Amino acid sequence: MTETKPATDHLTETAAPATGALAIEELPSPNCDDRPAGQKIDILVLHYTGMPDAGQALRRLKDPQSKVSAHYVVDEEGRIYRMVPEEKRAWHAGISAWKGERDINARSIGIEIVNTGHEFGYRPFQLRQMDALVALCKDIKTRHDIPPERVLGHSDVAPLRKQDPGELFDWYRLFVEGIANWPTPKVVQWSDEQFFQALAAYGYDLTGPAKANIDPQQARRAACVAFCRHFRPAVLRPVPDPEMKAILAGLVDNTPAQS
């Protein structure tokens, strides 16, 4: 599928002043509200738009009927749009959890990366797009001091519902740039139960929403696949194997203890 430039009829607002060295265009969305008083921003969630082209994605994120938004969108040309001010709560993560915290929107910044996604012909992310994303993530992390282990994919915080940004996303590039976490695998003799204990301790939700009556095995399988999408994208498995255990052991070793 060829790249599709976004339609220009949605770009009626004037460009915003650069944030640092970044040129960011303002494209406000009404789909936001106030963060809880005193709430620290300590998670960055990356998504793909999962729509046929950027124009449709941007229109949906602006549509008050959709009740969906993000703080930023990065298109395939590397253009960055700001849709929600960082001090506001954008509606991007939905029903989600990380390390037992369930209002991820309240404490996170969400970035949508234009990509057709699994439903419309999933494809590699563009180099210009990744360059812009790296610059944007660095700018955000500089202001909010978000640790690498809390730079996450939508599938990490909502494994039962989401696949994005998916197995083609270059998490290793974000690690090299000092943005995200990446493991140095460590061989361990864990049982499957020990793997799941470590997976929950790292942050993945193994239960699902309390009122959803999710089969625990279904939640565990979804978390395993989400873990693979992020850290072992070549092979997506719903049950742990020795390589997954080694990867997770390396992540646990490289993650600072929470105070």
Instruction: Encode pLDDT of 43-74 as tens digits.
Output: 999 999 999 999 999 999 999 999 999 999 99
Burial class (CB in 10 A: 0-12, 13-18, 19+), 195: buried
The two structure tokens encoding residue 155: 């599938």
Instruction: Tell me the average pLDDT across 232-251.
Output: 98
Q: CA geometry: angle at 50 spanning 106 and 7, to 5°?
A: 105
* Residue position matching structure tokens 């499957």: 192
Instruction: Encode pLDDT of 189-228 as tens digits.
Output: 999 999 999 999 999 999 987 667 888 899 999 999 999 9
Report pLDDT for 258: 59
Report pLDDT for 4: 31
Report pLDDT for 134: 98
Q: Is the dihedral of CA 91, 25, 118, 46 positive or negative?
A: negative
- Give me the active site residues, please: 112
**Are 50 and 116 within 8 A, CB to CB?**
yes
> What is residue 192's three-state secondary structure?
helix
Report pLDDT for 213: 80
What CA–CA distance (Å, rounded) separates 70 from 112? Answer: 6
